[in-house]
Amino acid sequence: MIVGVQPLAGFDKLLHYTVPETLRAAVRVGSLVRVPIMNRSHLALVLEKDTIPDVPPAKLKALSGILHEFPALTPDLLELARWMHSYYAARMESVLEAMIPAAVRDGSRLKSEKYLEVVRLLAPDEHAALARKAPKQAKLYDFLRQQFQPQKKSLVLARLGSTAAVVNALVQHGLIREEERHVERVAYADNWTGGEIVTGLPPKLNDEQAAVVFSVAESLEKRKFAVHLLHGVTGSGKTEVYLRAVEQVLAAGGSAIYLVPEVALTPQTVARLRGRFESAGHKTVVWHSHLGEGERLDGWTALASGQARVVVGARSAVFAPVKDLRLIVVDEEHEPAYKQDETPRYHGRDVAVYRAKLAHAVCLLGSATPSLESFANVKGGKYRLNTLTKRVDDKKMPDIQIVDMRIEVMRSRGMVTLSRLLVDHMHQRFARKEQIILFINRRGYSSSMQCRKCGHVEECPHCSVAMTYHRADETLKCHLCGHQRGAPVACPACAAPDIRWRGLGTQRVEEAVRRVLPRARLERMDTDTMSKKHRFRQILGDFRAGKIDILIGTQMIGKGLDFPNVTLVGLVDADLSMHVPDFRANERTFQLLVQVAGRAGRGDRAGEVVVQTFTPKADAIQFAKRADFDGFAEAELAVRKKFAYPPYRHLVHHLFRGPNPEKIRFFADHWVKQVEKTLGDAVEIRGPVPSPIEKVKDEYRFQVWYFCAGATKVVPELVKLQTTVNWPDDVTQVLDVDPMNLF
Ligand code: ADP
Ligand code: ZN
């Protein structure tokens, strides 16, 4: 038998090996194996079996080993890898590394422990003899006899101060037995729920939910590829719909993947799935990068072996090697966090849709604020739309109140962090022992320029994105087309001198809150405080348990979390996401408002939302206030169409960076001419222009944008063209297909 393998360590090439007799039964397409390359052992993935090698078979070397009993990649995953390699212009090797967890690639063995137990009871005289002749053996024997079950050897020895020699002696006398047991390390085995009560009993579906569940069930029964977009307002019970779909898949013997956008959301979801399915004997595996190696390996093994058929995790869980995949749920499908910002730069949602297609499975996308990409796919007839228009139990949607910060600033003659309206509400809620969440907009881009008197922001006349302020040469630049002008010293709209307004940090908000409510217990949740593992679980748990009154944080706490006692949500700086140089800025702002508002009033008491902004009339804010997704989508799609932005075209970002700006510029200019010549009308090119962040770590950055009807044809052409250019060593390039982050 001859196999074609892809080595994982720096060889982007298929190599051929023979398979020794002993490994023939185990080696399959998708298996992780060890192969000799120039006398060193390397890890590789079997891509082909029984292939014709490019050298005479007699010259081939043999595989030296196999890592796991199960293939690391299923056939649909292998196909997916090939697609990602070409679509995202990523090296095959890096795609495979993203797909297979390091713990699995490391080939570290499953963890096993030795256990001890008594196998023969001693008569009293025998026992006395042992105690006399070998007191240490007697002590160990006595200890084990008092136990009801086998004991971990390592713990017993440590506890009694005994040694392996003592164990061996007892084993030789036939008094105790030593046994090796595989121990499974289960993530979140403590079933942490942060105090959320998770009952196994499913609630009775309301009519809207029942209709959606029925529609998804029909697709699942057909065993054909289908995508459903579930647009359900916040608190409408989308999770219950997902659970019913998973239930159906499990009952039919299939597997399901459940994606959430942030690691922070996995504990809540895992608790819900375990609460529902564990009693029926179905394990739920947790899959994300914050797990220990052991947990990852064991979870992976459980899925690859078919022992577990449900997996929950962030982006990379889309690569779980489950058997008989029938459903992929993508919760909060609009979240930019699904896009990976290092190579391979894939979008978890799009990969989920593609994998579902390869596996003839159903992909269920859900959101209160669907992405315009998915919405356009509904309009184009590719996805089926299901809607939930009401909160469960007819709970009221929260009231959104908009505070015009221009007036606040005028009144107080200076910087304002918390408006009077917000402060009033905070006092009331605190007095009633209800909880408060304050959001700070992380997407704020400090170099945008906004007048804090009138709220005006300068936009590029050609691109309809905010211009970027460059301090070094006092200019405003459009980072899409390069249009540039001198930075105004006064606001072009109202002539106020105060145009360089910057955002508020979490700390600043924390200080302001402490001044307003010194006795409130508050906790800050941002990337600084979240560096410690499991810290987010602890804070969210304390918040749910009522040990924290006010939670201050960035969007990371705005997603999907369900805290019934929160009745007030404040968005401190709505503007920051709106005036970034990104054509999705309005969409982001609308989503942010609706999502954070959705955190309020999920329990029995009605919720209120206070949004502070310098541009209260902006479309995104007004549509969000009315909770009018359709209205927003229609208006925004019209703008996208006019400028031919996604979803009407695809976008590819090409970054060039290096220490020498003239050199980069020269090569980038040359490159663009080549692309024009080769691809002609297939792409519209903008750039090269300096990136909005022109210099990072002493490297200058330039970028080129390609707008095209489809990435499938254009990207491979660009990659091919790249190989024909003689690039200098100190110019690094990165291609990002369907980028989510435009600066
Ligand atoms: P969404 O994800 O749409 O914002 P959730 O799925 O978190 O909403 O549901 C909100 C709350 O309503 C949850 O506590 C959930 O357990 C509960 N719930 C969902 N469906 C029902 C139902 N049919 N009857 C009663 N409670 C429900
Ligand atoms: Zn422009």
User: Tens of pLDDT along 566-575?
Assistant: 889 898 887 7
* The predicted structure's pLDDT at residue 599: 77
Mutate to test the pocket of ligand 1, among 196, 239, 594 (most ligand atoms within 8 A of CB): 239
Q: Find the farthest-apart pair of alpha carbons in the chain and give their distance in angstroms, rounded.
A: 103
Please indicate whether residue 392, judged by its CB atom, sits closer than 6 Å to ligand 1: yes
* The predicted structure's pLDDT at residue 350: 97
Please indicate whether residue 238, judged by its CB atom, sits closer than 6 Å to ligand 1: yes
What fold characterizes domain 650-737? Answer: Alpha-Beta Plaits (3.30.70)
328 CA distance to ligand 1 centroid (A)? 20
* The predicted structure's pLDDT at residue 556: 64
Please indicate whether residue 448, judged by its CB atom, sits closer than 6 Å to ligand 1: no
Class of domain 2-100: alpha beta
Mutate to test the pocket of ligand 1, among 236, 240, 258 (most ligand atoms within 8 A of CB): 240
The mean per-residue pLDDT over the stretch 167-193 comes to 68
- The 3-state DSSP class for residue 247 equals helix
Both structure tokens of 275 = 């609460």
How far apart, in whole angstroms, are the C-alpha atoms of residue 99 and residue 340?
13
Both structure tokens of 395 = 């709970």
Ligand nearest to the backbone CA of 643: 2
Q: Is the dihedral of CA 357, 359, 360, 363 positive or negative?
A: negative
User: Tens of pLDDT along 436-492?
Assistant: 988 876 544 445 677 777 778 787 777 667 777 766 677 787 766 778 888 887 888
DSSP character at residue 422? H
Instruction: Give percent of the chain with pLDDT exceeding 90.
Output: 36
How far apart, in whole angstroms, are the C-alpha atoms of residue 467 and residue 486?
11
Please indicate whether residue 269, judged by its CB atom, sits closer than 6 Å to ligand 1: no
237 CA distance to ligand 1 centroid (A)? 3
* The predicted structure's pLDDT at residue 444: 41
What fold characterizes domain 399-446+503-639? Answer: Rossmann fold (3.40.50)
Protein residue whose Cα sits closest to atom 2 of ligand 1: 238
The answer to whether 230 touches 366, Cβ cutoff 8 Å, is yes
Let me know if the fold of 112-182 is the same as that of 207-392: no
Please indicate whether residue 236, judged by its CB atom, sits closer than 6 Å to ligand 1: yes
Task: Give the model's confidence band at 198: pLDDT under 50 very low, under 70 low, under 90 confident, else very high.
Answer: low
* The predicted structure's pLDDT at residue 443: 46
Protein residue whose Cα sits closest to atom 13 of ligand 1: 237
Above 60 in pLDDT, residue 191?
no
Protein residue whose Cα sits closest to atom 17 of ligand 1: 237
Please indicate whether residue 205, judged by its CB atom, sits closer than 6 Å to ligand 1: yes
Above 60 in pLDDT, residue 194?
no
Residue 566 to residues 424, 429, 550, Cα–Cα distance (Å): 16, 9, 9
* The predicted structure's pLDDT at residue 420: 92
The answer to whether 298 touches 353, Cβ cutoff 8 Å, is no
CB atoms closer than 10 angstroms to residue 87? 20
Task: Give the model's confidence band at 155: pLDDT under 50 very low, under 70 low, under 90 confident, else very high.
Answer: confident
Task: Give the model's confidence band at 193: pLDDT under 50 very low, under 70 low, under 90 confident, else very high.
Answer: very low
* The predicted structure's pLDDT at residue 188: 52
How far apart, in whole angstroms, are the C-alpha atoms of residue 248 and residue 220?
8
Above 50 in pLDDT, residue 697?
yes
624 CA distance to ligand 1 centroid (A)? 22
How far apart, in whole angstroms, are the C-alpha atoms of residue 79 and residue 428?
57
- Report DSSP letters for 479-528, one per residue: TTT--EEEPPSS-TTT--S--B-----HHHHHHHHHHH-TTS-EEEESTT
* The predicted structure's pLDDT at residue 179: 75
239 CA distance to ligand 1 centroid (A)? 7
How far apart, in whole angstroms, are the C-alpha atoms of residue 5 and residue 357?
25
User: Tens of pLDDT along 231-275?
Assistant: 999 889 999 999 999 999 999 999 999 999 887 778 888 888 888
Which CATH number does the domain 207-392 belong to among 3.40.718.10, 3.40.50.20, 3.40.50.300, 3.30.360.10?
A: 3.40.50.300
CB atoms closer than 10 angstroms to residue 476? 21
How far apart, in whole angstroms, are the C-alpha atoms of residue 321 and residue 32?
13
Which is more confident, 13 or 629?
Answer: 629
How far apart, in whole angstroms, are the C-alpha atoms of residue 113 and residue 484?
66
Q: How far apart are the first and last CA of the chain?
A: 51
Task: Give the model's confidence band at 561: pLDDT under 50 very low, under 70 low, under 90 confident, else very high.
Answer: low
CATH architecture of the domain with residue range 112-182: Orthogonal Bundle (1.10)
* The predicted structure's pLDDT at residue 447: 56
Give the residue extent of every domain in the chain: 2-100, 112-182, 207-392, 399-446+503-639, 650-737
Closest CA to 170 of 143, 141, 192: 141
* The predicted structure's pLDDT at residue 448: 61
* The predicted structure's pLDDT at residue 278: 86
Q: Provide the β-strand partners of residue 550.
A: 436, 522
How far apart, in whole angstroms, are the C-alpha atoms of residue 701 and residue 682?
25
User: Tens of pLDDT along 43-78?
Assistant: 899 988 877 777 787 888 888 888 888 888 988 899
Q: What is the atom index within ligand 1 of the atom nearest the CA of 598?
A: 4
* The predicted structure's pLDDT at residue 370: 96
* The predicted structure's pLDDT at residue 526: 65
- Report DSSP letters for 573-596, one per residue: -GGGGTSSS-TTHHHHHHHHHHHH
Please indicate whether residue 601, judged by its CB atom, sits closer than 6 Å to ligand 1: no
- Among 175-189, 541-555, 687-701, the minimum mean pLDDT is found in 175-189
* The predicted structure's pLDDT at residue 454: 75
Q: Pairing relation of β-strands 325-331 and 255-259?
A: parallel
User: Tens of pLDDT along 615-669?
Assistant: 888 888 999 998 899 999 999 999 999 988 999 999 999 999 898 889 999 999 9
Mutate to test the pocket of ligand 1, among 206, 392, 594, 595 (most ligand atoms within 8 A of CB): 392
Task: Give the model's confidence band at 525: pLDDT under 50 very low, under 70 low, under 90 confident, else very high.
Answer: confident
- Report DSSP letters for 103-162, one per residue: HHHTTPPPPEEEEEEE-SPPPHHHHHHHHHH-HHHHHHHHHHHT-SS-EEHHHHHHHHT-
Closest CA to 182 of 108, 104, 110: 110
- Among 225-229, 536-540, 680-684, 729-733, the minimum mean pLDDT is found in 536-540
* The predicted structure's pLDDT at residue 500: 61
Average pLDDT, the chain: 84
User: Tens of pLDDT along 366-390?
Assistant: 999 999 999 999 999 999 999 999 9
Q: What is the atom index within ligand 1 of the atom nearest the CA of 232?
A: 3
Above 90 in pLDDT, residue 417?
no
